[in-house]
Amino acid sequence: MGDTTYVCRCEDVTLAEVEQALDDGARTLEEVKRLTRCTMGPCQGRTCRHVLAQVISRRTGVAPGELDVPTYRAPVKPVKLGVIADGERDA
């Protein structure tokens, strides 16, 4: 099931890849993110970070709320470089 179950749909990260990161010693969302790119796609993990937190929690016994969680970063939704560059011109 792990090879065909996708945890992160933006970055095509499977459950098997997340399990592998945990086998390699990762213990937090921050670490799994850096090892697998899970939560690094355009949606910044709006869906997968909850699934990921549960997978890690089950493995480590640490409650999801206690895990080191990645930051949501600006811009919240992807914006074109040209739109940003022209920002003041339209104001």
Partner 1 sequence: MRKSADAVVIGGGSIGCSAAYHLAKKGFRRVVLVEKRYLTSGSTGRCAAGIRQQWGTEMNCLLSRGSAALFQALPEELGCGDVEFRQSGYLLVTYEESQARMLEENLELQHRLGIGSRKLSPQEAREVVPFLRTEGMVAAFFGPEDGHINPFKATFAYARAARRLGAEIHPYTTVTGLKTAAGRIAAVETDRGTVETPLVVNATGPYAKTIGAMLGLYHPVEPERHQILITEPMEPTLGPLVMSFHHDSYCQQVPHGGFIMGYGNPNEPKGFNYAHDWRFLEDIARKITDQMPVLRDLRVVRQWAGHYGISPDAQPILGPIPEVEGYYLALGCGKGFMLSPMIGRLTAELLAGEETSLPIEALSVERFDRGELIVEPAVV
Q: Rounded to the nearest whole angstrom, what is the least distance from the CB of residue 85 to partner 1 in the complex?
A: 4
Output the smallest distance, CB 82 to partner 1, in A: 3
Binding site for partner 1 (CB under 8 A): 24-25, 27-28, 30-31, 34-35, 37, 41-42, 44, 68, 71, 73-75, 78-82, 84-85, 87-88
Cβ-Cβ contacts under 8 Å for 3 (sequence gap 6 or more)? 14, 15, 16
Bridge partners, 6 (sequence order): 14
- Report in angstroms how near the CB of residue 68 gets to partner 1 at its nearest: 7
The structure tokens listed for 23 are 């086998």
